[in-house]
A and B are shown apart, each in its own frame.
Chain A
Amino acid sequence: MRAPLSWLREYVELPASVDALVECLPMLGIGVEGVERVGDDLVLDLEIASNRPDLLSMVGIARELAAWAGGEARLPADTLREDDPPAASTASVEIADASLCPRYLAYVITGITAGPSPSSIASRLEAAGIRCVNSVVDATNYAMLELGQPLHAFDLDLLEGRRIVVRPALPGEHLETLDGVGRTLDPEMLVIADARRPVALAGIMGGAATEIGPKTRAVLLEAASFAPSSVRRTSRRLGLRTEASARFERGVDPDGVARAARRAAGLIADLAGGKVHRGALDAYPAPVPRPAIRLRLRRLARVLGTEIPEDEVTAILGRLGLEVRREEDSVFAAPPIGRRDLEREEDLIEEVARHHGYDRIPEAMPCEVLQQGRRPAALEAEAAARDALVRAGLTEAITLSLGGPGAMDRLGVAQDDPWRRAVPVSNPLTSDHTHLRSALLPGLLEAVRVNAAQRQEAIHLFEIGRIFRCDGGAVAERRALAIAMRGTWLSGFWEGARDLREVTLLHLRGVLETLAGELRVGSLAVVAGGPAWMHPARCGRVLVEGVEVGVLGELHPRAAVRLDLPGRTHVCEIDLEGLLGRAVLQPSFARMPKYPAVVRDLALVAPLDLPQAQVQAALVEAGGALLEAVELFDAYSGPPLAPGTRNLAYTLTFRAADRTLTGEEVEALMQAISAALAARLPVTIRA
Chain B
Amino acid sequence: MPDEVDRLLSRTLEALKGATTPQALEAVRLRALGRRGDLAAMLRRLPSLSGTERASLGARLNTVQATLRAAFESRFAELAASEEVDRLAAERLDVSLPGRRGPLGRRHVLRRTLDEVERIFVGLGFEVVEGTEVETDEFNFERLNMPREHPARDTQDTFYLGDDLLLRTHATVVDVRVMMGRTPPMRILTSGRCYRRDPVDATHMPVFHQVDGFMVGEAITFADLKGVLATFAREMFGPHARTRFQPGYFPFTEPSAELAVSFEGRWLELGGCGMFHPRVLEMAGIDPERYTAFAFGLGVDRPAMVRHGIPDIRLLWENDLRLLEQF
A contact set with B: CB distance below 8 Å: 26-29, 49-52, 228-229, 232-233, 249-250, 302-306, 344, 346-347, 349-350, 353-354, 358-359, 361-376, 378-379, 383, 386, 389-402, 423-430, 433, 436, 447, 450-451, 454, 456, 458-461, 466, 468, 475, 477, 489-493
Contacts and interface: CB of A to CB of B under 8 A. Distances in A.
A430 B111 CA distance: 27
Contact of B221 (A302, A391, A425): A302
A433 B155 CA distance: 20
Contact of A375 (B128, B155, B200): B128
17 contacts: A229-B148, A229-B149, A232-B151, A303-B221, A304-B221, A346-B255, A346-B275, A349-B254, A349-B255, A353-B222, A359-B244, A368-B218, A368-B220, A375-B128, A430-B200, A450-B319, A451-B319
A398 B319 CA distance: 7
Contacts of A400: 205-207, 317
A369 B217 CA distance: 7
A516 B163 CA distance: 41
Interface in B153-173: 154-155, 159-162, 165, 167
Given A393-B102, A475-B134, A425 B219 contact: no
Given A27-B246, A362-B226, A386-B111, A354 B255 contact: yes
Interface of B: 98-108, 110-111, 115, 118, 121-130, 132-134, 148-152, 154-155, 159-162, 165, 167, 185-187, 193, 195, 197-200, 205-207, 215-224, 226-228, 230-231, 244-249, 251, 254-257, 275, 277-278, 292, 316-322, 324-325
B246 A358 contact: yes
* Most chain B CB neighbours (cut-off 10 Å) among A344, A350, A400, A490: A350
A364 to B, nearest CB: 4
B223 A450 contact: no
Contacts of A459: 321
B108 A373 contact: no
Given A346-B278, A427-B159, A305 B99 contact: no
Contacts of B322: 454, 456
A358 B105 contact: no
A372 B148 CA distance: 39
Nearest to B256: A350
Nearest to A386: B107
B159 A490 contact: no
Contact of B125 (A232, A373, A429): A373
A460 B105 contact: yes
A492 B99 contact: yes
A379 B128 contact: yes
A399 B197 CA distance: 17
Q: Which of A370, A375, A398, A424 has the most CB of B within 10 A?
A: A398
Contact of B228 (A362, A365, A389): A365
Given A373-B121, A375-B127, A423-B161, 9 more contacts: A304-B221, A361-B226, A363-B223, A373-B126, A376-B130, A426-B159, A456-B322, A475-B161, A490-B101
A364 B100 CA distance: 54
Contacts of A365: 224, 227-228, 231
A460 B322 CA distance: 13
B85 to A, nearest CB: 27
Most buried by B among A27, A49, A369, A459: A369
Contact of A397 (B108, B155, B197): B108
B185 A368 contact: yes
Contacts of A436: 134, 161, 167
Contact of B185 (A369, A399, A423): A369
Contact of B101 (A250, A349, A378, A492): A492
Nearest to A488: B103
B247 A354 contact: yes
A398 B278 contact: no
Contact of A490 (B100, B187, B197): B100
Contact of B151 (A29, A50, A460, A490): A50
Nearest to A355: B247
A385 B321 CA distance: 21
Contact of B129 (A346, A376, A430, A451): A376
Contact of A49 (B133, B149, B226, B248): B248
Q: Which 7 A-B pairs have the closest CB atoms?
A: A305-B221, A305-B223, A29-B247, A393-B103, A49-B249, A373-B122, A229-B149
Contacts of B101: 490-492
B125 A372 contact: yes
A397 B319 contact: yes
A365 B217 CA distance: 13
A468 B251 CA distance: 30
Contacts of A383: 115
